[in-house]
Amino acid sequence: RGRPAREAERPLCMDAGFGGGGLVTGSERNMTNRIEAFVSSMQIGPDDRVLEIGCGHGVAASLVCERLRGGRYLAVDRSAKMIAAAEKRNAAYVRAGVARFMLADLETLELGELRFDKVFAQRVRLFHDDPVRARTLVQRWLAPQGRAFFEYDLPSLRRED
């Protein structure tokens, strides 16, 4: 028998304002529970300005936007297919002006003077492969007291019944 899978690690925030993403292998929680736990750990306030890098299908977007009252959410993804899926899932938040989705690559993303209270990424490989570069890219979008969170996990290589 194989060893049981580790629980997904909660993103940690360091004083520098960056969450320490954990490399987690074989989480037993399903994807939605993992995303819910991650979003909850960020303690998003109702007026926060939130940037998600790599929004995928928009599951985290829904969880973030339901916490916002005066705040705003912006998501970027390099896949037009994922942007379309996320916009469809979150159409009510887009219509209400709470959420916006942008087709863009992190390495060439230009957001002008926009600043965010929370910036996060889940399963964005750059944050695992080159965290220093990823943090440098994200730093420019953080508000003075802003915090960044990231998490990268790998699916279990082997499941036993």
Q: CB of 116 within 8 A of CB of 49?
A: yes
Per-residue model confidence (pLDDT) at position 156 = 54
- What is the sign, positive or negative, of the torsion defined by CA atoms of 77, 62, 148, 68? positive
Residue 46: name the closest of 30, 70, 24 by CA: 70
What does the alpha-carbon distance between residue 159 and residue 161 come to, in Å, rounded to a whole number? 7
Residue 69: name the closest of 41, 55, 48 by CA: 48
Per DSSP, the three-state class of 33 is helix
Question: What is the pLDDT tens value at each position of the chain, 161 positions in all?
Answer: 333 333 333 333 332 344 444 433 344 347 778 899 999 999 999 999 999 999 999 999 999 999 999 999 999 999 999 999 999 999 999 999 999 999 998 888 999 999 999 999 998 888 888 888 888 889 999 999 999 998 877 655 544 43
Please name the helix (run of DSSP H) or strand (run of DSSP E) that holds residue 134, with its range, or none. Answer: helix 131-139
What does the alpha-carbon distance between residue 105 and residue 156 come to, in Å, rounded to a whole number? 28
Per-residue model confidence (pLDDT) at position 10 = 34
**What pTM was estimated for this model as a whole?**
0.78
